[in-house]
């Protein structure tokens, strides 16, 4: 992971579960991690726990189900860091209906 030290990662769904664990490990490995989540306060708690780690966690409030939130986080990352090196697209969205789109 040394080659990724100092690089920028975006982790969606970073507030809990697998997303939180991935974001935390990437910070420990020295990456600058943007943690995107609807419950940004949970990402802030993780950031606070990781003070003094090799990398840094940047909490960002957003919902992957909203195109404007995705556009905003990529714009923010480009302005702040110049772009991203790693995308962990962990968050999902829920939609009611069946997979074929046909009525039952």
What DSSP string describes 78-97? Answer: HHHHSS-SEEE--------S
pLDDT digits over 40-88, tens only? 999 999 999 999 999 999 999 999 999 999 999 999 999 999 999 999 9
Mean pLDDT over each residue of the chain, to the nearest integer: 93
pLDDT of amino acid 21: 98
Q: Is the pLDDT confidence value at 104 over 60?
A: no
Candidates 3.30.9.10, 3.40.640.10, 3.40.50.720, 3.40.50.670; CATH matching 2-88? 3.40.50.720
Predicted TM-score (pTM) above 0.85: yes
């Amino acid at each position: 992971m040394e080659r990724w030290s100092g690089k920028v990662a975006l982790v969606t769904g970073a507030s809990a579960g697998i997303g939180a664990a991935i974001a935390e490990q990437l910070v420990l490995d020295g990456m600058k991690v943007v943690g995107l989540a609807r419950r940004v306060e949970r990402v802030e708690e993780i950031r606070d726990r990781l003070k003094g780690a090799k990398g840094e966690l940047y909490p960002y409030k957003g919902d992957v189900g909203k195109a404007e939130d995705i556009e905003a986080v990529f714009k923010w990352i480009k302005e702040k860091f110049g772009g991203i090196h790693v995308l962990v697209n962990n968050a999902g969205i829920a939609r009611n209906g069946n997979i074929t789109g046909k009525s039952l």
